[in-house]
Structure 1
Amino acid sequence: MATSQTLSKAFGNLLGGRFRVLQAVAEDNHTQTYLVEDTIAAEMPRWIAKSFCLINKTNLQLDWARSLFRSEVPKLQQLSDRSNDFPKITTYFEQEEEFYIVEEAIDGTRLSDELVKGRLYNESEVINFLQQLLTSLHIAHSANMVHGDINPRNLIRRKHDEISNHHFVLTNFAVLKGIYATTAQKGVVLGTPSYMPFEQALGHFTPSCDIYALGLTAIQLLTGLHPSQIVHREALNLLNWQMGVMIRPELAEILNRMVKRHPEDRYQSAQEILYDLDNLPPDQDFQEFQMPKLVFSEGFGENMGRWAIALICLAGVAWGVVTFLNLPKLVINPSSTPTLTPTAVPPQALATNYQLRQTLKGHNGWVRAVAFFPNGFSFASGSYDRTLRLWNVRDNQPFETLSKHFGSISGINAIAVHPNGNTFATACIDKSVKLWNFRSGQPINNLEGHEGQVYSVAYSPNGKTLVSASADKTIKLWNWRKAEVWQTFEGHQDKVVAVVFHPDGKKIASASFDRTIKIWDINTGKEILTINGHNAPINAIAFSPNGNFLASGSQDQTVKIWDANTGKLLQTLSGHTGNVLAVAISRDANMIASGGADKTIRLWDVKKGQLLQILDNHEAQILSLSFSPKDQTLVSGSADRTVKVWQL
């Protein structure tokens, strides 16, 4: 702890020859925080100065701390320059064998202060909270920085943003505690024990630790329970926190996966969680029923009997609500076009009989993309683990793994294969489209120009051009050989998540979170047609091989079939109980496959609009589908990190 002599010496003196100490504002065993004023720059006169000191200042310990300070603080400074999600660091220095960082004095409220007042967050607020903090973590983790000490005390909501529930600033990176955690002090734990996973306590410091701590914090905001009050259910590998909390089961599943005991069971990146949050189903089922929330006071044990009765009553009500919400739903389509709700068919009477032939493992993250090559038996899979894998459906091992060792720094959202099969393209989170040679496995070009992550990519039927869709709300048409943009299509009001070429090569279709599908003329760049009809963001589209119709999958849990020329709605296929995330059309155009957040693949008869078969072997949501161009083989990629091969 900083001594009174150290403190009195600091008062009245200048730190770094520039910053005058006004008052001490915080103190712990090895750090002291001061409010200081800048005696040189008047535009931002007040800052926070943090000093890190060693108790036993041996030469070895000082050299170790000095090396860490000089290597890590510049990284934090660069991070603060990139985003206001982190306190701006103006300077850092060493003075009298103590290490100082001077950062902005944030005018705001600590999240811990809100919790003390008994404030609980509702579902919408928690989702907004997670989206903002996960975006912050994505920025930090992309810069190879782990926070390591996420908890309510280290989250400050800027004062001018209190009404809108953000913007939170992520303060006090744990890496700085390493300045005093020298080789002679190995017992020092970097982080706050109640919020850290077991592997962090053992010294394993990874992005997964941040995901765990953020998940615990979100649960605390919903329940009012401190992490020390939450019991781990070993048999289920779950934390027991959901009693009396009415949120969508999909959100509860996200939170539970964030706080899994074993790191391999958790989400592997902030981007994966953001994707799941973006694809939560509509919350209308919970809008008319609000469950009372219980906040445990410090002395809640004295009233345990009354709380137990209340919890039993709440459990009964919650069971009734969950039972009601899981009853079959009557689908009423307000449009004049009838909705086809498939009749349940006994397994022996199904018109198709797809069987699981292989489960292909190897990816360490979500499999966001699968695409067949023209030969009909080779296909590629792309993942958030930053790798591409090339497979042969006749084998159960990848014959090539690409990407990490070729400089790829980003997860993969989509794959498109050139008509001749010699090259393929990947749509990447890092805002680029990467081009690859199939035979050599080498990258051949990088297309840059989008201002947001690229969600979808497609080659023209003649292979001369390539089109990409992005979170920046635009579609770009490329001369991919020269890495030149030929055309930029603008008109969507939200991110564009899917784009496909019409088989005639003259038109493209795009789908957006603005709930519309647009058809474009590739020569003029003009919009030909806008198709409306979905009641929620659209995740996927596909043209039939003959170009007669277009299929779309949406967060409204339906697949819709449209006339490709007029935009007229032909069929609505209902049956999924979660967002529809992927669609694919068989080579004979008679069957549509759809994959959903409900962990199922559904096969549909295009002409009759009837459900043919349900494939439910995946353990998590279906993210990608592809039919072989040679036969009826279907491959699927999932958030369970596997690829499955299905055949008649």
Structure 2
Amino acid sequence: MLCCLNPDCPNPLNPDDNQLCRSCNTPLIPLLRGRYRVIKVLSDEGGFGKTYLAEDVDKLNEPCVVKQFAPKIQETLALKKAVELFKEEAKQLQQLGEHHQIPTLLAYFEQNNYLFLVQQYIDGQNLLQELHKKGLYNESKIREFLLDLLPVLEFIHKRGVIHRDIKPQNIIRRDSDRRLVLIDFGASKQLSATVQTKIGTAIGSHGYTPIEQMQDGKAYPASDLFSLGATCFHLLTGIVPSKLWMQNGYSWVTHWRRYLNQQSQGGTISECLKLGNVLDKLLRIDIQQRYQSADEVLKDVLRQSSQPISSTFISVSRTSQVLASLPLDTQRKKHLLVSAGIVLLGLGGVWYSYSQPLVIPKPSNLSQPINKTLEDSDSPNTLKGHSSDVNSVAFSVDGKTLASGSDDNTIKIWNLANQQEIRTFKGHSEWIWTVAFSVDGKILASGSADKTIRLWNVETGEEIGILKGHAAGVSSIAFSPDGKTLASGSLDKTIKLWNLETSQEIYTFKGHSKAVASVAFSPDGTTLASGSWDKTIKLWNLATQKEIRTFEGHSEMVLCIAFAPDNLNLASSSKDNSIKVWNLVTGEVTQTLIGHSDKVNSIKYLLSTDNDQTTNKVILVSGSNDNTIKLWNPVTGQEIRTLKKDSGYIYSVAVSPDGKAIASGGSADNIIKIWRSPR
């Protein structure tokens, strides 16, 4: 069907071959701007135009959203204000669309005397629809809601943008990954202490809008936080705040608890609601008494919450997140050596933001080797068989086997139960720098100084594919969380994406001025990170294939990067002997970990639980040329303990899927060592 773009048309749907609308006789536009086929109305904007579902024929009919601006306003100032708001929405989407929880702006143009805005289509239901379908939120779901949306608000506020219309209708839960997406920036304003509408009209929605915004047209980050609190109230009670506002003005916020359901888990919700104090502070009438930043709210939510967060908070593949690899000592070796390890961060579908208080294991907790007692804890298991340095190690998805890549041009698969070699893969003509298992564990990928990536059948040992395209050695590889894509970094300064079904190159990212040493997918699969010898880390939007931002702070080359399981932080290690933890929302360094006396070649996150399976521990593991492996608290920067090798550099560390073992490969006697954590 083809949709008529006359905003007054009572029945806009038409057959594809119609020239004129059968309802209003308006000429039909088969392709808006020669590209977008408008197929149905999504919503009527109440006298300002309509929002349509469309298909982008230049992108294989990919769905998109077309917003039409056709105001029925005669008064000049009001019309001018409406035009400004529509243009403002386009500007905000262009600026903010780099965030994976904000729709991307695709186009903005004028046609047939109407303004049009085209943006990314988010497949999912808004939270009002979800509320009607699935019922009221409990406290656990409110906590998940806040933890997912607060970083988005922090992101826009840091960029000087206030949304001004936070409510359930403007938050969509995306079907693909269950993440929350913030939409409708038409009312957003650039941050200013004197933001005020020129025609005396408030922008926002009654009940959700704070008093300073409603009465004076002034908006601040704290104004969005009031709207966030009102949204939480609506989701908890099912009561639309505008109804209470019409009856009681703003007085309803001082006694919002009386509207809660009476029973919840053995007591009244008022008694059980641990986030009650957070909602109190969000809903303060006086802006000075309210939270002033989303980060403040996030810290209080984490501090006052002790229940595990369900998998709907951060939806990640339950199998593996392949992380980074690293360049090694070019003075000691004639060429770059790189190793990679898999970090398997999921544990029973439960994920934690590591910015919450951590439970740190006792010093002995990562010293017991496999099949050995605590008395033998200083002697980890060793796997012997390579004839040269071991540059990369990676655990299989089930944790039963380990892969290793070496200077001897071979890859070996090891049985961890009996510590015996299972098979050897041969095919590369030069050193193996990186190995990684696919998310289903059936394929092993290897990258080499011979400029190729080879794919192997883990079960049979058969080579099943060769990926060629890099102009220099392949230093790092990573599988996407959905298992469909492989990313590779190279000494040729580029990052390539590969389609694993066709073994064809999808795209090449260019931007680094020196070799790319490490690549990693974000846990949600929307972002790719790369670390380079040019001392920078870059983030790339996989949907738009554009660079999001560059992190600068290391004084020497970046050797390895790793995403934290919370999808909000990223760690990097460097030749400057340090590890830095970056906030992905603000771009700021939250911790610099100092303790290694030589360059840090490999870092991995470890997520595990205590014996009772109730308390999570998030630890950062690092391997260095100083012959040690160190365990860190990534929040405080505290060094937890040091695991020492006999001698030689440590080129790679890997963490088992259950978080119970750490493997390392390096230059000492061509062996692999494994430490076991007791339970």
Normalising by the smaller structure, the TM-score range is 0.3 to 0.5
Report the TM-score, using the length of structure 2 for normalisation. Answer: 0.44
